Amino acid sequence: MFSMENVTKVYRVGEQDFTALHSISLEIESGSFLSFVGPSGSGKTTLLNILGGLDRPTTGEVRFQGKSLSVMSRVELAAFRRDHVGFIFQSYNLLPVYDVYENVLFPLILMGRREADVRDRVRELVHEVGLSDQIHKKPATLSGGQCQRVAIARALVKNPAVVLADEPTANLDAENSYHILELMQKLNRDFNAAFVFSTHDEKVTQFVRREIQLEDGYVKADRTRKVGGEAA
Ligand SMILES: Nc1ncnc2c1ncn2[C@@H]1O[C@H](COP(=O)(O)OP(=O)(O)OP(=O)(O)O)[C@@H](O)[C@H]1O
């Protein structure tokens, strides 16, 4: 689904260049459930942002379904994100004035869909994340775990090829983190969307089928393993 070839990211900091990613080459398959792990500053978020078309590499190539992101204009990149990528952030990024239903509906409205045509799809996703009872509540009245469930439903509602999740359990306690990870594992299977995380949370790494370890912008290890009896 994704291929990265010799991706480097250099930031200009004052008078100096700082290399956040050093010549990274990776393949990420459709339906993956994988995590970038590594200490703070190792390049996890930079890598996710480049995969999601939120940022561009300084050198190197990223392809999505064989198409190079480098040659896309800003408008084409925005369309790539809208049509193919769901985003989940550690701080949920829900729209506070909208209720659960409207937050999940929002990406479909951005895609030009009519509410009447997608109402059932939105309700299905809200149901999938276990929030049918809370569907008309505003984010401020929900718990952190419930807000993250809304964010997951919102990310999946448009049937993306991939969900990119930057530290999705960072603001959750242990019990909620496990519930959220189990839910994402189930949705990965049921909806056949790839999930790609960045994390330093060891709980996340117990759930993933592949773990790519980053250190100072280099890939230090890339492990694939069996999780819960599934084939690796
Ligand atoms: N816009 C920027 N300008 C300059 N340096 C940056 C910028 N964004 C990131 N960096 C640097 O690049 C390195 C990698 O940052 P990144 O956020 O990708 O790491 P991370 O592994 O996600 O860290 P964390 O777990 O703390 O979020 C860090 O040293 C960071 O300071």
Per-residue pLDDT, 228:
57
Amino acid identity, position 52:
G
Task: Provide the pLDDT confidence category of residue 169 given band limits of 50, 70 and 90.
Answer: confident
What is the whole-number distance in angstroms between the Cα of residue 20 and the centre of ligand 1?
7
Q: What is the mean pLDDT of the chain?
A: 92
Report which ligand 1 atom has the smallest distance to the Cα of 18.
Answer: 5
> Which atom of ligand 1 approaches the CA of 49 most closely?
18
Q: Is 40 in the pocket of ligand 1 (CB under 6 A)?
A: yes
User: Where are the chain's structural domains?
Assistant: 28-59+73-224
d(CA 196, CA 49): 11
Residue whose C-alpha is closest to residue 207's, from 182, 171, 231: 182
What pLDDT sits at residue 79? Answer: 93
**Predicted pLDDT of residue 94:** 94
Percent above pLDDT 90 for the chain: 78
Burial class of residue 57 (count of CB atoms within 10 Å of its CB; 0-12, 13-18, 19+): buried
pLDDT in tens, 19-56: 999 999 999 999 999 999 999 999 999 999 999 999 99
How confident is the model over 2-26, as a mean pLDDT? 95
- Asked whether the predicted pLDDT for residue 171 surpasses 90, the reply is no
- Ligand 1 near 199 CB (within 6 A): no
Q: Which two tokens stand for residue 139?
A: 């984010």
Give the β-pairing of 85-89 and 67-68.
Answer: unpaired
CATH architecture of the region 28-59+73-224: 3-Layer(aba) Sandwich (3.40)
Q: Is the ipTM of this complex over 0.90?
A: yes
Q: What is the pLDDT of residues 188-215, one digit of tens each?
A: 999 889 999 999 888 888 899 999 999 9
Q: pLDDT tens digits for 48-100?
A: 999 999 999 999 999 999 999 989 999 999 999 999 999 998 888 899 999 99
Question: Which residue is closest in CA terms to ligand 1's atom 2?
Answer: 11
The rounded distance, in Å, linking the Cα atoms of 197 and 200 is: 10
Q: Alpha-carbon distance 31 to 81, whole Å?
A: 17
